[in-house]
Chain A
Amino acid sequence: MDTKTTSSDSVNLIELSDSQINLSEFDPLTSSSVTPALNEKQQPVVRRPSRPPPPPPNHASNVKTRSSTTSGGAGLTSDLISLQLDKHDTEINAKQTLNKSGVPSLFTLERNRPSFVSYVNDGEAADMHPTIIKSSSSSSAQEMKSQSSSFVSYVPDDSSAKLSRTQSLSTGLSQADHMDFASFEGATGQNAVTSKLLGQREELMQLFMTKRQDDYTSRKPFRLFAGTWNVNGQYPPDSLIEWTAYDKDPPDIYVIGFQELDLSKEAFVFAESSREDEWRKIAEVSLHPKAEYYLVKLVRLVGMMLLVFAMKRHQNHITEVMSHHVGTGLLGKMGNKGGVGVRFNIHSSSICVVNSHLAAHAEEVQRRNQDYADICARMRFSDAYGQSPRTIFQHDVVVWLGDLNYRIEKMLPDMVKECIDVGNYKLLKENDQLLCQLREGNVFKNFEEGEIKFRPTYKYNPGTDVWDTSEKCRAPAWCDRVLWKETAVLSRSTIKNSKKVPKTMTLKEYRSHGALKISDHKPVSASFGMDVKVINKEKYRVVYEEEIRRLDKMENDYLPSMTLSSHTVEFGDVMFQQAVLQSVELHNTGQVPCHFEFIGKFGDNTYCKPWLTISKPKGFVMPDEKLAIEFEVYVNRITASSLNIGSEKLEDILILHLVGGKDFFITLNGKYIASCFGSSLEALCRMKDPIQQVDQKLLLKWSKISVQDANDSESSDEHTLQVPKELWWILDYLYHHARSQPDLFQQPGLHHELQEIQKCLDSQVPVTKGLNSLPGSSHSSAEALLVFLEALPEPVIPFCYYQQCLDVHSNLQHSKELLKTMPVHHRNVFNYLIAFLQELPKYEDKNGLSVHLIATIFAGLILRPQQRKSGIEARIEREKSIVFVERYLMNNLEEL
């Protein structure tokens, strides 16, 4: 209508609303002003609905199927349906949110779903969790695909051993376990996670290097002297040279253990002992005269003292010296019994020495075994930071010496002495408790000892070589011993070379030293040849680089890898509420399961535009398997308006991220066909031509006319239609052809017919009043009207009037006053629509439309809030809006 919207026009408008509009006369396309002709025959209809609006069962089921499928009419008038079917209300709303408009909420839902990790941690021990995703057995792969809880349930059934192969699969997977999606930021998230693994990488490199140490180390022979002596609390003699310098060649390293260094109560209670110094000094001066030594470490617990000396020339190669002590005496803690230990590296070999004084008395074998076990369990060598403590056995070589106190059993003292005198050590050794316990594997497992060829070292009358003549008259015994053990790492690496394991330790001599007589024990010593590993720096570097290459290769090989069937997705022409599906196939071409997910750009939570749905926004693909991901474009009323005006396009780049690996970009392209559906009344009233023939710039310009300034722009030169021609077309058609149609507005239209109608409205102009036709059935046209109203970005009654309308919903006079202030196009459309709707109940006997039913159907379309509400509040508001519309339908249209 070319009506100039000056103030004089408002007269026309008033006239128009003054009376019932004769629909047959109304033609927005003619330039003539609206003829407010009141058709005498058409009296205002004031009829109470004879029955409550029947909830059409076909509607209910229809909506359900629609919202779960993606047909063009999906979600249509769900407001209306839910009005009638409260119990379906929530369900429909929820589905709508999920299916179409609510990509963000879909995302939230995913996040809230319990992760695999938490599933398993709930049910299983915490260390089970790395196995979850690692499974690659084909059966579980199937389950994994579904990502359902059934997938999780298989985990406990799988033996972890079976999974070990796949546990290697990728660091990426384990990252996935810990991935916090909230903090995940694509490429940078990757960085944060992998740096966690860097420490493990260092450890792994150390492991690799340890395995290959033969390739970069050579062996250097060292001499080791290991001595032990229970000194029975005596003052040191002038020299220990008969013991410590017994060998011709000077040892490279001395380890010397004393027991019962100080039997005084003070030593027991206080840490200080003057004997420590005295014995250390005498030991120092008694070292082999052919070499110079330094004290590597001294450690003492009450009477147990361990001294480590080394030749001065080795000083730079003796590193990481640490000591510890364990008391096993009174209360299992006190230091009268127990052990002291020192560990150190010499070049690349690690050595641990333990000096122990185990429980006394012949019958206390179990106690001694227990002491040994306690020392093993409790002795820990920590660096200054207290980190990564090592146990006794985490060394290449363990030397264990001391007064172990094992006796000769089942023989009377005289018998023992007799055997000794005749040199029958065999019988004695058969009854030696330590040898028996060793044989039975009860203690000192895998330790070795030299063959004993010396007299028992206990118990003598001090100062003599005479057996104990005291009251107790103890039987002689080999209390004082030296044992050693080589740990597995050396042998393991050499077994691979299928050579005989070269021993690191070679015992040269095992003896006691009767010349030192001050104690009731004689000292014992063992001299060893020891092959120390010495690193060749050049070779080390070469091997290190080789190994790090290998590790790099492994890491790169086990990165997740996929190929995509396409990097672009073309949707072609996309119409309003018409879903278009395309798919891309992911093919896992790597060696590890791929955990993929679409990620947002720059920390954005949403990974795609609201008009897109991705069938699987994240998931797993097992090696060699394929997975099709479907992309569905669906433009609903929320996304339509910006696409209609071209401010938004059906274009996007998605980022498909492989957790622990690369990203793919997937480019989406589609052309949205502009439609009157989803266009604003302001814009539509300015379109003389079908929308598809309108210049996009104009569309954009018009779309910027807001409801607020619509009235102002009325005064501009623009010639606008009074109501959108498309709306006029539909109503004109319905009025002339469908007003008597049974079940009008109650039976849904057909999807393809709706599409045809849409094409028609968007590409053609209506002809003369009463002669307009629309394709398809009346029901489809009726639905088109509902869709049109629902898709309006700003409803017939603008959002800003919503609350006020509810406030005056039962007072027609007030609401009329209120609606007078609405922008002119909205006023026109409202009047026009009400006029049309008032016609319908006149044919209620045929179309079944009562006033109340019409109000129920249209209230939610005409008068709706900007933010969808829920619960009781929404219901109350809906009731009010129905009453609001009903009041209008039952009254003459008066001036607005």
Chain B
Amino acid sequence: MASRAPQRPNNASPQGKICQFKLVLLGESAVGKSSLVLRFVKGQFHEYQESTIGAAFLTQTVCLQDTTVKFEIWDTAGQERYHSLAPMYYRGAQAAIVVYDITNQDTFARAKTWVKELQRQASPNIVIALAGNKSDLSNKRMVDHDEAAAYSDENGLLFMETSAKTAMHVNDIFLAIAEKLPKNDAGGTAANRPTSGVDITQGGGSNPQGGCCGRSQ
């Protein structure tokens, strides 16, 4: 009670440090990028998901065995006319999910060009995952699973067929990315950051936190 400083936990958390990564979703419009994010972040699915006009932003954390990975997710507009703005979002991203619709061959072709663009223009060690979404509609399948898998192998991509509707492989693909991301480099992590002294950023940031707690009670 006499202490002014907040109580500290007594030992380092078993979860270890939190690493933060920027992840961007790319792909033709209406392949289900926003739905994948919504499923992953909020566990929801909307049959009629609005078209994204811009770049939606959400965060979600996944816990691995010894680290915690926080994704900053940028869900981009798929429409071709916004294509030129995409680099704003994949630039500096450590991970990307390129999404196509297994019932539409064109979206797979488009996904391949996205992969090429990322390989050419994004940061060189970006982790790219290919997601064949709408796997629940396998009776309308137009893209062969093995073909996409082979393509992913050739290009060093993670690959899964997903369904935002049934949630199949949605968490898995994010988890797989989290596993594959390098955790040891300083990029994105803020562990061991000095927590004392008059750090201006703390002044700004600690208040919202305190408020959050106040609210939640």
CB of A129 within 8 A of CB of B63, answer: no
Cβ–Cβ contact A187 & B74, under 8 A: yes
Check if A167 sits within 8 Å of B203, measured CB to CB: no
Residues in B1-42 with C-beta less than 8 Å from chain A:
1-3, 5-11, 13-15, 17-18, 20, 22, 41-42
Contact A394 B8 (CB under 8 A): yes
Bound together, the chains give a CA A535 to CA B210 distance in angstroms of 26
Specify which chain B residues have a CB less than 8 angstroms from the CB of A601 in the assembled complex: 84-85, 88
- Taking the closest CB of chain B, its distance from the CB of A823, in whole angstroms, is 39
State whether the Cβ of A476 lies closer than 8 Å to any Cβ in chain B: no
Question: Do B203 and A165 touch (CB < 8 A)?
Answer: no
Q: Is the CB of A552 within 8 A of B208?
A: no
Closest beta carbon of chain A to B206's beta carbon, Å: 6
Kindly state the separation between the CA atoms of A8 and B125 in the bound complex, as whole angstroms: 70
The answer to whether B56 has its CB under 8 Å from any CB of chain A is: yes
* A167 lies within 8 A of B8 (CB): no
Q: Which of A164, A196, A350 contacts B214 (CB 8 A)?
A: A164
Query: Which residues of B (178-197) have their CB < 8 Å from a CB of A?
Result: 188-191, 193-196
The distance from the CB of A53 to the nearest CB of chain B, in whole angstroms, is 53
Nearest opposing residue in chain A for B74, CB measure: A187
Is B61 touching A187 in the complex (CB atoms < 8 A)?
A: no
User: Which residues of B lie under 8 Å from residue A235 when comparing CB positions?
Assistant: none
Decide yes or no whether A252 CB sits under 8 A from chain B. no
- CB-contact partner of B8 in A131, A178, A206, A667, under 8 A: A206
Residues A544 and B13 in contact, CB atoms below 8 Å apart? yes
B55 pairs with A199, CB closer than 8 A:
no
User: Which range contains the number of B residues in contact with the other chain?
Assistant: 35 or more
The answer on a CB contact under 8 Å between B11 and A541 is no
On whether the beta carbons of B205 and A196 are closer than 8 Å, the reply is yes
Q: Is A606 an interface position by the 8 A CB rule?
A: no
Given A187-B88, A665-B54, CB of A391 within 8 Å of CB of B207: no
**Do the beta carbons of A663 and B55 come within 8 Å of each other?**
yes
Asked if A130 and B204 sit within 8 Å, CB to CB, the answer is: yes
Chain B residue at minimum C-beta to C-beta distance from A344: B10
Is A396 in contact with B18, judged by CB distance below 8 angstroms? no
Task: Report the minimum CB–CB distance from A765 to chain B (whole Å).
Answer: 39
Assess whether B210 is in contact with A199, with CB atoms less than 8 Å apart: no
CB pair B57–A174 under 8 Å, yes or no, is no
* Chain A residues closer than 8 Å to B89, beta-carbon distance: 187
Question: Scoring A residues 128 to 172 as 1 if CB is less than 8 Å from chain B, else 0, what string do you get?
Answer: 011100100000000000000000000000000000111111110
CB-based contact A665/B53 at 8 Å: yes
Distance between Cα atoms of A544 and B66 in the complex (Å): 12
Segment 486-541 of A: residues with Cβ below 8 Å from B = 487-489, 533, 535, 537, 540-541
Q: CB-nearest residue of chain A relative to B19?
A: A198
Whether A602 contacts B18 by the Cβ 8 Å rule is no
Complex partner residue of A202 from B59, B191, B206, CB under 8 angstroms = B191
B152: interface (CB < 8 Å): no
Chain B residues lying within 8 Å of A445, measured Cβ to Cβ, are 2
Contact partners of B210 in chain A: CB under 8 A:
164, 167-168
Chain A 189-212 near chain B by CB (<8 Å), digits 1 or 0: 011001111111111111111100
Query: From residue 150 to 192 of chain B, which have CB atoms closer than 8 A to chain A?
Result: 188-191
The answer on a CB contact under 8 Å between A556 and B209 is: no
Any A CB within 8 A of the CB of B139: no
CA separation between A330 and B91, bound complex, in Å? 63
A195 in contact with B202 (CB, 8 Å): no
A177 contacts the other chain (CB 8 A): yes
Contact A545 B9 (CB under 8 A): no
User: Chain B 61-81, CB within 8 Å of chain A: the 1/0 string?
Assistant: 101000010101010010001
Q: Which of these binds chain B: A257-265, A277-285, A382-390?
A: A382-390
B138: Cβ under 8 A from any A Cβ: no
Contact A130 B57 (CB under 8 A): no
Residue numbers in A under 8 Å from B61 (CB-CB): 548-549, 551-552
Residue of A nearest to B77 (CB): A665
Q: How many Å from the CB of A548 to the closest CB on chain B?
A: 5
- Once the chains bind, are B204 and A175 in contact (CB under 8 Å)? yes
Contacting pair A174 B205 (CB below 8 A): yes
Docked complex Cα distance between A345 and B11 (Å): 7
Tell me which residues across on chain A come within 8 A of B6, comparing CB atoms.
207
Residues 112-139 of A, flagged 1 when their CB comes within 8 A of B and 0 if not, give 0000000000000011011100100000
Tell me the complex Cα distance, A167–B57, Å.
21
- Known pairs A350-B10, A544-B13, A665-B77; A188 contacts B92 (CB<8 A): yes
A206 near B9: Cβ-Cβ < 8 Å: yes
A452 contacts the other chain (Cβ, under 8 Å)? no
Q: In the bound complex, how far is the Cα of B27 from the Cα of A750, in angstroms?
A: 53
| Pair B211/A391 contact, Cβ less than 8 Å | no
A559, B75: Cα distance in complex, Å? 15
A200 to B211, CA, bound (A): 13
Distance in Å from the Cβ of A183 to the closest Cβ of chain B?
14
Q: Bound complex: CA of A761 vs CA of B92, how far in Å?
A: 52
Which residue on B lies nearest to A549, using beta carbons? Answer: B61
Cβ of B120 under 8 Å from chain A:
no
A660 to B41, CA, bound (A): 17
B208 touches A664 (CB 8 A): no
Tell me whether B204 and A169 are in contact (CB under 8 A).
Answer: no
Instruction: Known A602-B87, A655-B85; judge A178-B204 contact (CB<8 A).
Output: yes
Q: Chain B residues near A843 (CB, 8 Å)?
A: none
Q: Does A833 lie at the interface of the complex (its beta carbon under 8 Å from any beta carbon of B)?
A: no
Given contacts A126-B203, A656-B54, contact A200 B41 (CB under 8 A): no
In contact, A389 and B196 (Cβ under 8 angstroms) = yes
Q: Which of A127, A169, A191, A202 contacts B92 (CB 8 A)?
A: A191
- With A and B bound together, what is the CA distance between A391 and B81 in angstroms? 59
Q: Indicate if A46 sits at the interface (CB-CB under 8 A).
A: no
Known: A130-B203, A178-B200, A199-B190. A204 touches B209 (CB 8 A): yes
A173 neighbours in B (Cβ, 8 Å): 208
Return chain A residues, CB-CB under 8 Å to B77.
665
**Pick from B57, B91, B208, B214: contact of A661, CB under 8 Å:** B57
Taking the complex as formed, is B104 at the interface, i.e. its CB lies under 8 A from any CB of chain A? no
| Residue A348, interface by CB 8 Å | yes
Q: Please indicate the chain B residues that have their CB under 8 angstroms from the CB of A205 in the complex.
A: 13, 18
| Docked-complex contact A200 and B203, CB < 8 angstroms | no
Are A200 and B10 closer than 8 Å at their CB atoms? no
Of A174, A554, A653, which is within 8 A of B82 by CB?
A653
Take A127-B203, A165-B215 as given contacts and tell me if A487 and B193 are in contact as well, using a CB distance cutoff of 8 Å: no
Task: State A195–B205 Cα separation when bound (angstroms).
Answer: 11
A-chain residues with CB within 8 Å of residue B196 when the two chains form the complex = 387-389
Q: Is A292 engaged at the interface, CB distance under 8 Å to the other chain?
A: no
Q: Are B212 and A662 in contact (CB under 8 A)?
A: no
Residue of B nearest to A192 (CB): B92
CA gap between A552 and B194 in the complex, in Å? 23
* Nearest chain A CB to B186 CB, angstrom units: 10
Contacts A174-B204, A488-B7 hold; do A548 and B63 have CB atoms under 8 A apart?
A: yes
**Which residue of A165, A540, A548, A567 is within 8 Å of B211 (Cβ)?**
A165
Find chain A residues with CB under 8 A from B105 CB: none
- A86: Cβ under 8 A from any B Cβ: no
Shortest beta-carbon distance, B64 to chain A, in Å? 11
Tell me whether A545 and B63 are in contact (CB under 8 A).
Answer: yes
Whether the pair A554, B18 counts as a contact (CB closer than 8 A) is: no
Is A349 an interface residue, CB under 8 A from the partner?
yes
Instruction: Verify A174–B5 contact, CB threshold 8 A.
Output: no
Q: Which residues of A contact B215 (CB under 8 A)?
A: 165, 168
Using a CB–CB distance below 8 Å, which chain A residues touch chain B?
Answer: 126-127, 129-131, 134, 164-171, 173-175, 177-178, 186-188, 190-191, 194-210, 213, 319-320, 345, 348-350, 387-391, 393-394, 396, 445-446, 487-489, 533, 535, 537, 540-541, 544-545, 548-552, 554-556, 558-559, 567, 601-602, 653, 655-656, 661-665, 667
10 residue pairs of the A-B complex, CB under 8 angstroms, read A129-B203, A168-B207, A201-B190, A208-B213, A389-B196, A540-B13, A541-B14, A549-B61, A555-B59, A661-B57
Extra contacts, 17 of them, besides A201-B190, A394-B5 (Cβ < 8 A), are A167-B207, A187-B55, A197-B201, A198-B70, A199-B190, A207-B9, A209-B9, A209-B13, A319-B11, A350-B10, A548-B61, A551-B61, A554-B212, A567-B53, A655-B88, A663-B57, A665-B53
Shortest beta-carbon contacts, A-B, top 4: A168-B211, A174-B204, A198-B190, A199-B193
